[in-house]
């Protein structure tokens, strides 16, 4: 555990000292969620729900319809008699009608109340789906953050190795000047420095690219920020904050609401209506053959007392759909717990054991380098063999950094899934 705390301090302190603007992985997750364009879909859902609610309110207002009709027919109604005492009006073959129909609902069985609840639920479902979609960005950003962080720490290790090689080159140059070593020895060290510098250039280029991508995810225009290595600690996992659970609950509520609404299908509908206008002939009295006013007032009712079991079967369908949501929830929990178990095991067992071995490997390789340095100066070991040992030490340190960051990344992936 002392090794872990020491490595964490080594990784974190240089960044904290040199960074004027640092950003943590937790901040990246929050910013990625906040700056996702998908958040706009919540506003759109609110607007749609408001417009639909206004439409529902208008259902209680009178419905007005203006109609006009002009027609000619080949035959018309007429009485097959004649009388010298009075004229029998002739119904014209060209007929005209201009009318106004007004109706107002008196009782709708309570359907509007359920429709309003349905529209509000659709709004909440849209918002919940957005939360689910953007929540996935937490894992994406966390993975990107640690890829960048690993490259930064690899760069630091290679820079330290290059500094050691420069000191060794100074010793080799001095030995060549004094005639105690061949020029080849100094050139081998120079070659190793060039190779190390080549690795550094490639890594720094990758760092710049990854930070540019990360800045796009979190909504920052510039990449003038440094990443901070989180501390390695025990994580208590939990699934209660996942937005998917809210989505599952809303889906269940939606099916339950549809089930509750089924009983409305057997409720009667009642409305008042009025029809009035001008007609030639009067549509209610064909003996009035001029343009005459007409008016009709009344009540309309509709009722379907029998549905031949449709409501019962629809309720069974909705019950099955609710069970389907339960199955989806159970599968989601199973998948999430399996992923969490993997990361928990890697953090507490796999990488912990590797770090213990890394500590021993690095200390032993450092001892080998110290002895090899003396052997080179005494002419017992060639520079080629010495540089091979230097490469082994550099690789051991890189492995040590990698395993520590992998353990922390497993920890943060657990946090990203909560």
DSSP 85-96: SSPPPPPPSEEE
Percent of the chain at pLDDT exceeding 90? 31
Find the mean pLDDT for residues 404-411: 87
Going by C-alpha positions, the residue among 394, 418, 406, 5 that lies closest to residue 200 is 394
Q: What is d(CA 28, CA 16) in angstroms, rounded to the nearest whole number?
A: 17
Provide the token pair at 335: 């998948």
pLDDT confidence band for 168 (50 / 70 / 90): confident
pLDDT, position 204: 92
pLDDT at 210 over 60: yes
pLDDT, position 85: 65
What length is written for the chain?
418
pLDDT, position 201: 94
Give yes or no for a contact between 370 and 107, defined as CB atoms under 8 angstroms apart.
no
**Choice between 225 and 124, residue whose per-residue pLDDT is larger:** 124
pLDDT, position 207: 92
Find the mean pLDDT for residues 69-82: 77
DSSP secondary structure string for all residues of 293-322: EEEEEEEEEE-----TTHHHHHHHHHHHHH
Going by C-alpha positions, the residue among 115, 113, 111, 104 that lies closest to residue 270 is 104
Provide the token pair at 43: 């506003």
pLDDT tens-digit series, residues 12-36: 444 333 445 888 999 999 999 999 9
Provide the token pair at 94: 């060209």
pLDDT confidence band for 1 (50 / 70 / 90): very low
Q: What is d(CA 229, CA 22) in angstroms, rounded to the nearest whole number?
A: 10
pLDDT confidence band for 140 (50 / 70 / 90): very high
Q: What is d(CA 258, CA 311) in angstroms, rounded to the nearest whole number?
A: 11
pLDDT at 9 over 50: no
pLDDT at 385 over 60: yes
CATH number of this structure's domain 2-70+93-416: 1.20.1600.10
pLDDT at 54 over 90: no
- CA of 393: how far to CAs of 121, 161, 204, 365, 366, in Å? 61, 9, 21, 6, 7
pLDDT, position 169: 87
Q: What is d(CA 201, CA 195) in angstroms, rounded to the nearest whole number?
A: 10
Handedness of CA 83, 89, 94, 95 (dihedral sign): negative
Provide the token pair at 30: 């929050």
| Count of CB atoms situated within 10 Å of the CB of 154 | 21
pLDDT tens-digit series, residues 255-279: 998 888 887 777 888 888 888 888 8
pLDDT tens-digit series, residues 350-372: 888 888 899 999 999 999 989 98
Q: What is d(CA 33, CA 219) in angstroms, rounded to the nearest whole number?
A: 10
Give yes or no for a contact between 416 and 142, defined as CB atoms under 8 angstroms apart.
yes
Average pLDDT of the chain to the nearest whole number: 84
pLDDT, position 307: 75
> Taking the model in full, what pTM does it have?
0.74
325: preceding bond cis by omega (within 30 degrees): no
Residue 75 backbone phi and psi in degrees, to 5 = -145, 150
Neighbouring-strand partners of residue 23: 227
Provide the token pair at 182: 């061949």
pLDDT, position 19: 42
Beta-sheet strands, E only, within 202-286: 226-227, 269-280
Going by C-alpha positions, the residue among 358, 391, 385, 362 that lies closest to residue 373 is 385
pLDDT, position 344: 81
Residue 16 carries which DSSP code? H
pLDDT, position 247: 93
pLDDT at 288 over 90: no
pLDDT at 107 over 50: yes
pLDDT at 10 over 50: no
pLDDT confidence band for 86 (50 / 70 / 90): low
Give yes or no for a contact between 340 and 414, defined as CB atoms under 8 angstroms apart.
yes
Find the mean pLDDT for residues 33-61: 87
């Amino acid at each position: 555990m002392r090794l872990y705390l020491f490595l964490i301090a080594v990784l974190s302190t240089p960044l904290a000292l040199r960074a004027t603007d640092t950003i943590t992985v937790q901040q990246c997750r929050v910013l990625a969620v906040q700056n996702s364009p998908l958040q706009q879909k919540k506003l759109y859902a609110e607007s749609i729900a408001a417009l639909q609610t206004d439409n529902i309110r208008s259902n209680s207002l009178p419905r007005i319809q203006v109609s006009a009709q002009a027609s000619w027919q080949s035959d018309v109604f007429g009485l097959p008699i004649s009388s010298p005492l009075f004229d029998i009006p002739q119904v014209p073959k060209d007929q005209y009608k201009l009318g106004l129909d007004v109706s107002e609902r008196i009782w709708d069985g309570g359907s509007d109340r359920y429709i309003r609840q349905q529209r509000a639920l659709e709004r909440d479902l849209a918002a919940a789906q957005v939360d689910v979609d953007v929540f996935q960005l937490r894992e994406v950003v966390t993975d990107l953050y640690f890829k960048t962080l690993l490259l930064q720490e690899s760069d630091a290790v290679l820079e330290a190795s290059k500094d050691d090689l420069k000191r060794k080159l100074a010793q080799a140059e001095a030995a060549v000047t004094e005639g105690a070593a061949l020029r080849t020895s100094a050139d081998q060290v120079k070659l190793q420095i060039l190779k190390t510098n080549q690795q550094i250039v490639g890594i720094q280029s990758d760092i710049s690219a990854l930070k540019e991508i990360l800045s796009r995810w979190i909504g920052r225009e510039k990449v003038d920020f440094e990443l901070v290595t989180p501390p390695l600690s025990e994580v208590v996992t939990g699934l209660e904050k996942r937005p998917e659970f809210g989505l599952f609950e809303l889906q269940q509520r939606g099916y339950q609401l549809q089930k509750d609404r089924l009983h409305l299908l057997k409720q009667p509908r009642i409305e008042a209506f009025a029809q009035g206008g001008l007609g030639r002939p009067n549509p209610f009295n064909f003996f009035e053959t001029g343009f005459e006013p007409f008016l009709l007032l009344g009540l309309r009712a509709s009722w379907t007392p029998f549905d031949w079991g449709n409501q019962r079967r629809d309720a069974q369908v909705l019950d099955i759909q609710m069970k389907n949501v339960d199955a989806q929830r159970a599968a989601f929990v199973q998948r999430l717990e399996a992923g969490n178990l993997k990361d928990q095991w890697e953090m507490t067992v796999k990488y912990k054991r590797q770090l213990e071995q890394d500590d021993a490997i690095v200390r032993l390789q450092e001892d080998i380098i110290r002895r090899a340095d003396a052997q080179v100066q005494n002419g017992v070991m060639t520079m080629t063999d010495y540089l091979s040992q230097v490469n082994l030490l550099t690789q051991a340190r890189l492995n040590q950094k990698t395993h520590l960051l992998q353990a922390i990344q497993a920890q943060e992936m657990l946090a990203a899934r909560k």
